[in-house]
Amino acid sequence: MKYCFKIPAIICLLSLLPVQCKDDDASIFRAYVEGKITYPDPKFLEEPIHLVKDKRVIAETQAKESGSFVLAGPYDKGSYKLQLKSFKIKSFSTGTKGCKISTDSLSIDIPDGETYIIFNNIILK
């Protein structure tokens, strides 16, 4: 009977032991994207803006009333994209080479290795 109370107590104590966090690793990077979006419909401000890598959202934000936005998320390698939910992109300007509008016009594809991008202006349809 004594042992019935000791086992839960031991399990409880073990769960209180500090969990060790992974050390910061210099090989882990962040993708950082900022810019301004010119939008014709105020409903755009209600829609999320995503950074997506391998069909997984790595960052989410909403544009400010001015159209400006900032996103940052984990990045290791490969291309990723700036994605809108339902508003299509007409054009954009940036100093980063290799970015292009996707075939569905809902995102901008960002090439492998680009981790800091500033979009001077993204114009929506």
Q: What is the pLDDT of residues 20-79, one digit of tens each?
A: 555 555 567 899 999 999 998 989 999 999 999 999 999 999 999 999 999 999 998 999
Residue 84 has pLDDT above 80, yes or no: yes
Distance CA(76)–CA(62), nearest Å, equals 24
58 with 98: CB under 8 angstroms? Answer: no
Could you tell me the pTM of the whole model? 0.77
Pick the CATH number of 28-124 from 3.40.50.300, 3.30.70.100, 1.10.3720.10, 2.60.40.10: 2.60.40.10
Query: Where exactly are the structural domains of the chain?
Result: 28-124
pLDDT at position 29 is 83
The tokens describing 18, both together, are: 């500090």
**What tens digit of pLDDT does each residue of 94-124 get?**
999 999 999 999 999 999 999 999 999 999 9
